[in-house]
Amino acid sequence: ILSLGMEIRRNAVLDALIDAFEPQFVYERSDSMLRIEEGLNQRSGLLYGELPEELIITSAGVKYHVDVAHGQKTGFFFDQRENRLALERYAKGVKRALDLFSYTGGFTLHLLKGGAKVVYAVDRSRPAIELLKQNVELNGYSSQRVLTFVKDVFEFLEEMSLAGEKFDLIVIDPPSFAKKRKDIGEALGAYRTLHEKAIALLNDGGYIATFSCARYISEADLIGSFYVAARRLGKSFYLVEHLHQAKDHPVLVGFPESESLKGLLLKHKFSPSD
């Protein structure tokens, strides 16, 4: 709960959740800094039922350990569910994939499921990477198929470039770079840097999936930042798919900021002149 309007209705929301779903537990994660701007205190904790010591969920046929109490937001990002399935379809025949800002392995696991032989997973959060390793084991995949790195993504990309590493499919799913309108310029600069570094690591004919969960960054902004990066490197790409938040995260007409997740799947247009 981030706003005063919803805070006023907090108890009604809780009662409705219990009545509609009869859940095992309800755990509140109202610990965003946005509450401070609304004049509200940050708050998190168990509101109903009993939180199990080990929580395992299944999403789109993949199992995950979830840390509700300490993970990012609710501990799992359901808005990417359909996009994970989309990328799974492109993983067949991929020898090396790269999952940037991997968190607990949502994309990593679907790339493995789709047939990618090896996935490099990068996140600066050690607890997230540890959960990712557990999720790989939970789903029955060999740990040899996943190489994990607890590292800043920008630094990692620089190291991979210096080492001459290449990948067939790259996923870029960063946290929000623009929480406020004043952050848009800086955010677009970060996207351009990410895109340029990722494109430099892509094999000829490879795929890049890039996302923005920032409400103030439009799909046009995302396409523009990618185009500038590709042009600097003399590379051409096809736009294969527009990717969006899952259908249970509806976009309200007249409120464009409710379309928080935008994504693009792009394929390198390889030619001998590249």
CA angle 54, 59, 63 (to 5 degrees): 45
Which of these is catalytic: 213, 222, 243, 265?
213
Q: What CA–CA distance (Å, rounded) separates 2 from 184? A: 21
Positive/negative CA dihedral, 264, 270, 271, 274: positive
Q: For this structure, is 213 an active site residue?
A: yes
Q: CA of 135: how far to CAs of 10, 90, 118, 130, 138, in Å? A: 33, 21, 15, 9, 5
Closest to 67 (Cα-Cα) out of 149, 17, 129: 129
Instruction: Name the phi and psi angles at 116, rounded to 5.
Output: -60, 130
Query: Taking a C-beta distance cutoff of 8 angstroms, is the pair 262, 211 a contact?
Result: yes
Residues with catalytic function? 213
